[in-house]
């Protein structure tokens, strides 16, 4: 659209499953009549001959020849409607029209404002009570969110976060954690086709002050604070960013169960290692939340047993391009000391040194191709070195700074999980008390 | 009859949409320079190569140049400046 503004007639080509999203994006950018042409999905893995057939075939959206759409898009004279663009104010009201409980529940479902589980309706009284959980003014702007980098950002206030916290069933004392998560600016409802979500890991005294679970079942629905803070993160992400509607503002092909409630606390008391947030520059007595983005794959193991290195190497190389977030039960973390690993950094360094793939396999990945290859071509390290490697040459998948490890769990089993999730930000919770 | 209640709207605040006009279209493509912008999505490079091949076969009077941004999904002002300075039209793909 910037090219059109600069006077260059342009046609944007998409695959047909993105037609609704492409049109909605054009409208939100004030250029609803942007010329677009569509080819069938997928493009990935199609041979040159198949791609040529797309080009010489029919646009599956307009049902007209694809190249005719393209050429006419560049040459057909504009109408008066094309020339004016569309400006408009959009506002969301503070309050909705009064209605019955059942009708409002249905309205929230119909408008895609829920996660399709029952919600607590955000009455004025409930929201006021929630706002008592922070010293910040209701109209203070907390931040902005969008489903993806190329979509518009929506702004939100403390009160809007509180509304979603009420809907999730959270208590006022949880609000500083929820505000800190919201202030991260990282959505838990990314529209990525790869079904990414985000995970929030809480550290510091607030874990115990609000009764978070970092022991048995910490990563599951077994604790009020964990469950409702995570659900609030999910709901606020979709509602404060302008939606997370399948086929329109959400394009994750498989979806992601972690998106329901992605929050837990680290078991600092039973961990032999420094807490996650201390590694991010906070003091142990600070409360902070670390947000990890991705969460597409999870692998698991037990031990560490005699063959832990072989097991972990397999898991590391099996993952996609997102670096691992290791979540270990305290039994596992302490057990690593018997293998000479006494700090989380030592384990991270071992993982970085052992997350290896032949270059051919490393580069034969859709997202490595899309996101990292352009950087490699531009000479950005370490990607350039990986791209220069021979097909059979072994390359490192991650740098140590990209890998994280935390201790969670109730010591009923020496279990660990490896989740593909990139650390995005660690935010002070104390700042939102 | 059920009593009514008033509740908050849970949505954030969208930005104002500012209308932008489309660029004037070309009368014809013959003799023009057409930039084919490879948006770096996996396999969009061979797609754009096939587009270039199609133009060479069917509209040989059009000069096509494949160009790429520096990164995926990140605006590249230098690339846009090149297209604006040297090009008459552009095709972007494969996008979303």
CA distance linking residue B62 with residue B29, whole number of Å? 6
Select the residue of B20, B25, B91 nearest A1 (Cβ to Cβ): B20
> Taking CB atoms and an 8 Å limit, are B22 and A76 in contact across chains?
no
Q: Which of A4, A5, A9 to mutate to test the interface with B (most CBs of B within 10 A)?
A: A9
The pLDDT mean for chain A works out to: 94
The position carrying tokens 């270039």 is B52
ipTM surpassing 0.85:
yes
**pTM to 2 decimal places:** 0.90
How large a percentage of chain A has pLDDT more than 70?
100
Å from A182 to nearest chain B CA? 12
Query: A339 pLDDT exceeds 80?
Result: yes
Q: Is some CB atom of chain A closer than 8 A to the CB atom of B86?
A: no
Mean local confidence (pLDDT), A224-240: 98
Instruction: List, in sequence order, every beta strand (DSSP E) within B1-96.
Output: 4-5, 33-38, 63-67, 89-93
User: Parallel, antiparallel, or unpaired for β A415-428 and A288-302?
Assistant: antiparallel
Query: Highest mean pLDDT range out of A145-154, A244-253, B23-32, B73-82?
Result: B23-32
* B-chain residue closest to A105, CA distance: B7
Mean local confidence (pLDDT), B22-31: 94
Residue A386's pLDDT is what?
95
> Taking CB atoms and an 8 Å limit, are B41 and A370 in contact across chains?
yes
> Taking CB atoms and an 8 Å limit, are A33 and B22 in contact across chains?
yes
pLDDT band at B33 (very low <50, low <70, confident <90, very high): very high
Q: What is the pLDDT of residues A33-73, one digit of tens each?
A: 899 999 999 988 899 999 999 999 999 999 999 999 999 99
Residue A272's pLDDT is what?
95
DSSP, residue by residue, A133-183: T-SS-TT-EEEEE-SSTTSPPEEEEHHHHHHHHHHHT--GGGHHHHHHHHH
pLDDT band at A367 (very low <50, low <70, confident <90, very high): confident
Mean local confidence (pLDDT), A223-229: 98
CA distance linking residue B73 with residue B87, whole number of Å? 21
Mean local confidence (pLDDT), B58-73: 92
Q: What is the pLDDT of residues A397-413, one digit of tens each?
A: 999 999 999 999 999 99
| Residues 6+ away with beta carbon under 8 Å from B87 | A8, B33, B34, B35, B65
Q: Which of A22, A43, A362 to mutate to test the interface with B (most CBs of B within 10 A)?
A: A43
Q: Between these two residues, A90 and A308, which has the higher pLDDT value?
A: A308
Q: Is some CB atom of chain A closer than 8 A to the CB atom of B85?
A: no
Residue B54's pLDDT is what?
97
Q: Which of B2, B3, B16, B17 to mutate to test the interface with A (most CBs of A within 10 A)?
A: B17
Contacts of A101 in chain B (CB under 8 A): 2, 5
> Taking CB atoms and an 8 Å limit, are A122 and B8 in contact across chains?
yes
For A73-87, A104-118, B11-25, which range has the lowest pLDDT when averaged over its residues? A73-87
> Taking CB atoms and an 8 Å limit, are A108 and B84 in contact across chains?
no
Residue B95's pLDDT is what?
66
Helices and strands, counts by H and E, chain B: 2, 4
Q: Between these two residues, A201 and B39, which has the higher pLDDT value?
A: A201
Å from A202 to nearest chain B CA? 25
* Boundaries of every domain in chain A: 2-84, 101-355+397-432
> Taking CB atoms and an 8 Å limit, are A43 and B68 in contact across chains?
no
Residue A30's pLDDT is what?
83
Mean local confidence (pLDDT), A106-128: 97
Contacts of A150 in chain B (CB under 8 A): 73
Å from A431 to nearest chain B CA? 22
Select the residue of A45, A82, A374 nearest B70 (Cβ to Cβ): A374
Give contacts of B 43-82 with A, CB under 8 A: 43-44, 46-47, 49-51, 53-54, 58, 68-75, 80
Query: A77 pLDDT exceeds 70?
Result: yes
> Taking CB atoms and an 8 Å limit, are A95 and B9 in contact across chains?
yes
Residue A25's pLDDT is what?
83
> Taking CB atoms and an 8 Å limit, are B84 and A13 in contact across chains?
no
Query: A371 pLDDT exceeds 90?
Result: no
Query: A389 pLDDT exceeds 70?
Result: yes
| Residues 6+ away with beta carbon under 8 Å from A287 | A176, A177, A202, A203, A204, A205, A206, A207, A428, A429, A430
Q: What is the pLDDT of residues A258-305, one digit of tens each?
A: 999 889 999 999 999 999 999 999 999 999 999 999 998 899 999 898
Query: B96 pLDDT exceeds 60?
Result: no
Query: A218 pLDDT exceeds 80?
Result: yes
Residue A312's pLDDT is what?
95
How large a percentage of chain A has pLDDT more than 90?
80
* B-chain residue closest to A16, CA distance: B96
Residue A248's pLDDT is what?
87
Å from B21 to nearest chain A CA? 5
Select the residue of A43, A89, A369 nearest B16 (Cβ to Cβ): A89
> Taking CB atoms and an 8 Å limit, are B11 and A91 in contact across chains?
no
Contacts of A251 in chain B (CB under 8 A): 96
pLDDT band at A138 (very low <50, low <70, confident <90, very high): very high
Query: A14 pLDDT exceeds 90?
Result: yes
Query: B32 pLDDT exceeds 90?
Result: yes
- Grouping H, G, I as helix, E, B as strand and the rest as coil, residue A352 is helix
Mean local confidence (pLDDT), A63-84: 91
Query: A90 pLDDT exceeds 70?
Result: yes
Query: B1 pLDDT exceeds 60?
Result: no
- Buried b vs exposed e over A305-340: b needs ≥16 C-beta within 10 Å? eeebeebbbebbeebebbbbbbbbbbbbbbbbeebe
């Amino acid at each position: 659209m910037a090219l059109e503004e600069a006077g260059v007639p342009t046609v944007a080509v998409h695959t047909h499953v993105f037609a609704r999203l492409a049109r909605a994006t054009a409208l939100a950018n004030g250029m609803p009549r942007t010329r677009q042409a569509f080819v069938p999905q997928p493009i990935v893995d199609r041979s040159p001959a198949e791609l040529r057939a797309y080009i010489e075939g029919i646009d599956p959206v307009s049902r007209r020849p694809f190249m005719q759409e393209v050429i006419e898009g560049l040459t057909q004279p504009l109408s008066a409607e094309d020339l004016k663009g569309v400006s408009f104010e959009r506002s969301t009201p503070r309050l909705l029209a009064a209605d019955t409980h059942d009708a409002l529940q249905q309205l929230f479902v119909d408008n895609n404002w829920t996660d399709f589980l029952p919600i607590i309706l955000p009455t004025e009284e409930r929201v006021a009570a929630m706002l008592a959980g922070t010293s910040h003014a209701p109209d203070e702007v907390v931040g902005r969110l969008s489903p993806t980098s190329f979509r518009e950002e929506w702004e939100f206030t403390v009160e809007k976060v509180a509304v979603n916290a009420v809907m999730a069933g959270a208590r006022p004392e949880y609000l500083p954690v929820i505000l800190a998560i919201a202030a991260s600016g990282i959505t838990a409802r990314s529209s990525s086709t790869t079904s990414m979500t985000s995970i929030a890991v809480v550290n510091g005294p607030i874990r115990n002050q609000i009764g978070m679970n970092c022991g048995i079942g910490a990563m599951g629905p077994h604790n009020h604070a964990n469950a409702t803070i995570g659900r609030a993160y999910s709901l606020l992400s979709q509602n404060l960013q302008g939606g997370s509607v399948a086929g329109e503002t959400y394009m994750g092909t498989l979806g992601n169960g972690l998106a329901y409630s992605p929050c837990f606390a680290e078991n600092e008391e039973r961990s032999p290692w420094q807490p996650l947030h201390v590694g991010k520059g906070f003091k142990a007595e600070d409360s902070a939340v670390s947000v990890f983005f991705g969460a597409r794959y999870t692998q698991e193991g037990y031990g560490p047993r005699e063959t832990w290195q072989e097991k972990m190497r397999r898991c590391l190389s099996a993952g996609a391009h997102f670096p691992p977030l290791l979540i270990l039960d305290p039994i596992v973390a302490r057990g690593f000391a018997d293998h000479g690993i006494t700090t989380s950094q030592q384990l991270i360094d071992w993982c970085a040194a052992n997350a290896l793939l032949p270059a051919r396999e490393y580069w034969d990945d859709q997202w490595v191709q899309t996101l990292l290859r352009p950087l490699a071509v531009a000479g950005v390290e370490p990607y350039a070195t990986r791209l220069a490697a021979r097909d059979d040459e072994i390359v490192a998948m991650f740098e140590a700074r990209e890998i994280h490890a935390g201790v969670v769990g109730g010591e009923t089993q020496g279990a660990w999980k490896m989740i593909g999730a990139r650390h995005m930000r660690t935010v002070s919770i104390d700042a939102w008390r | 009859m059920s009593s009514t209640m008033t509740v908050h709207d849970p949505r954030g605040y969208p930005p104002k949409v500012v209308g932008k006009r489309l660029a004037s279209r070309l009368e014809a493509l013959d003799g023009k320079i057409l930039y084919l912008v490879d948006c770096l999505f996996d396999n969009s490079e061979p797609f754009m190569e096939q587009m270039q091949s199609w133009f060479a076969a069917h509209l040989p009077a059009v000069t096509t140049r494949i160009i790429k941004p520096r990164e995926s999904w990140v605006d590249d002002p230098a690339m846009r400046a090149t297209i604006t300075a040297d090009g008459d039209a552009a095709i972007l793909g494969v996008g979303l």
